[in-house]
């Protein structure tokens, strides 16, 4: 009977938590901003500044922005802000209010942490992932053209140029007339795989008129065979690549314990060091044994 009561109470508690969480996830949209458009110039400077703010404050939860038809990250993950669904269903003003006020649950308010200009810059950065976005000329915003490649991207690859000691990221695609070209002005990010994640070699650098981005290497360590693993992607995440590239002839790992050392053998270890080590080890084991004994006593007392 008691177990049934506990189960019922648990179900009720979970239900109340879910209901409370749903009620908490309400957006506060200011009436004077609901239909507002971007209040800063929609240009490369503000887009790049918005990316810096996004990387610092938003990326930890929302991760990389990727163009998609619908949000591909279900709860509890933060949504993909590059989805066409999000871009279409939110005005600039509504996004500004959501950034400013949060929703009382997973999304915190940034009104006191990020300046008003920086919040609009984040919106400019988000809108750079919307191909159909046209900045309005009202509300103080300027209609500044943003350079975009008019065509289709087909491939991204990386290689190593020994002469310049550089990693080369190459984009391929077709222009609006269907000609094979090296897309110009497309933002590309290049990373190198490290033990604890990825190290950025460049982040959002634009391709030149040949569709290339060149990154100079300066003392970048490789594995013992001289290889590194390089990731490259376009800013919208539409194209990605992973390559294993050799940048050196490799090197030989030398074990620092090899060779002659003062205490290379236990027979040469000073007695005082052995006595200290054994004393500390026995002391630790004694404390652990005493703790286990006390737990055993407590368990026996409870059984009585």
Q: Is residue 86 part of a domain?
A: yes
Of 230, 246, 262, the residue at which a domain comes to its end is 246
Digit-coded pLDDT (tens) for 140-177: 555 555 667 888 899 999 999 999 999 999 999 998 88
Structural domain containing residue 232: 151-246
Does 18 lie in the same domain as 102?
yes
Does 91 lie in the same domain as 198?
no
Digit-coded pLDDT (tens) for 35-91: 899 999 998 889 999 999 999 999 999 988 888 888 888 878 889 998 999 999 999
The span from the CA of 41 to the CA of 140, in Å, is 8
Of 111, 127, 143, the residue at which a domain comes to its end is 127
The span from the CA of 87 to the CA of 71, in Å, is 10
Does 113 lie in the same domain as 9?
yes
| CATH assignment of the domain containing 174 | 2.60.40
Does 27 lie in the same domain as 118?
yes
Q: Is the distance from CB of 37 to CB of 92 less than 8 angstroms?
A: yes
Q: Is residue 21 part of a domain?
A: yes
The answer on pLDDT for 27 being more than 70 is: yes
- 100 dihedral zone (left: phi>0; alpha: psi -120 to 50; beta): alpha
Q: Is residue 288 part of a domain?
A: no
Q: Is residue 99 part of a domain?
A: yes
| CATH assignment of the domain containing 104 | 1.10.760.10
Digit-coded pLDDT (tens) for 98-131: 999 988 778 899 999 999 999 999 999 999 888 8
Distances 235 to 5, 221, 253, 296 between C-alpha atoms, Å:
54, 26, 37, 60
Digit-coded pLDDT (tens) for 224-237: 999 999 999 998 78
Of 182, 184, 183, 213, residue with least CA distance to 200: 213
Does 169 lie in the same domain as 106?
no
Q: Is the distance from CB of 174 to CB of 180 less than 8 angstroms?
A: yes
User: Structural domain tally of the chain?
Assistant: 2
Q: Is residue 141 part of a domain?
A: no
Q: Is residue 259 part of a domain?
A: no
Q: Is residue 260 part of a domain?
A: no
Does 163 lie in the same domain as 91?
no
Does 156 lie in the same domain as 103?
no
- Token pair of 188 as six digits: 């590309």
- What does the pLDDT read at residue 275? 87
Q: Is residue 95 part of a domain?
A: yes
Looking at the chain, which runs of residues are DSSP E strands?
151-161, 166-175, 180-181, 187-194, 197-206, 212-216, 227-234, 240-246
- What does the pLDDT read at residue 24? 46
- What does the pLDDT read at residue 23? 44
Digit-coded pLDDT (tens) for 196-231: 888 989 988 889 999 999 999 988 889 999 999 999
């Amino acid at each position: 009977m008691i177990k049934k009561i506990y189960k019922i109470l648990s179900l009720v508690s979970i239900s109340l938590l879910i209901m409370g969480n749903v009620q908490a996830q309400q957006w506060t949209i200011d009436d004077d901003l609901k239909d507002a458009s971007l209040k800063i110039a929609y240009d490369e400077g503000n887009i790049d500044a918005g990316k810096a703010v996004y990387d610092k404050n938003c990326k930890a939860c929302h991760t990389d922005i990727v163009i998609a038809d619908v949000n591909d990250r279900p709860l509890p993950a933060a949504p993909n802000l590059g989805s066409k669904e999000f871009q279409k269903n939110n005005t600039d003003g509504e996004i500004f209010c959501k950034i400013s006020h949060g929703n009382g649950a997973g999304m915190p308010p940034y009104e006191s942490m990020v300046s008003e200009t920086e919040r609009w810059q984040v919106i400019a950065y988000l809108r750079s992932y919307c191909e159909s976005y046209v900045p309005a000329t009202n509300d103080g915003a300027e209609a500044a053209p943003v350079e975009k490649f008019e065509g289709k991207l087909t491939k991204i690859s990386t290689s190593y140029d020994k002469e310049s000691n550089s990693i080369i990221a190459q984009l391929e695609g077709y222009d609006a007339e269907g000609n094979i070209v090296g897309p110009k002005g497309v933002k590309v990010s290049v990373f190198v795989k490290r033990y604890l994640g990825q190290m950025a070699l460049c982040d959002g650098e634009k391709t030149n008129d040949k569709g290339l981005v060149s990154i100079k290497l300066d003392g970048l360590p490789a594995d013992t065979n001289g290889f590194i693993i390089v990731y490259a992607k376009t800013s919208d995440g539409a194209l990605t690549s992973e390559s294993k590239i050799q940048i050196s002839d490799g090197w030989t790992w030398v074990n620092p314990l090899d060779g002659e050392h003062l205490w290379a053998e236990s027979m040469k270890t000073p007695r005082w060091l052995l006595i200290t080590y054994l004393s500390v080890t026995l002391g630790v084991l004694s404390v652990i044994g005493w703790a286990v004994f006390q737990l055993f006593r407590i368990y026996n007392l409870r059984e009585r």
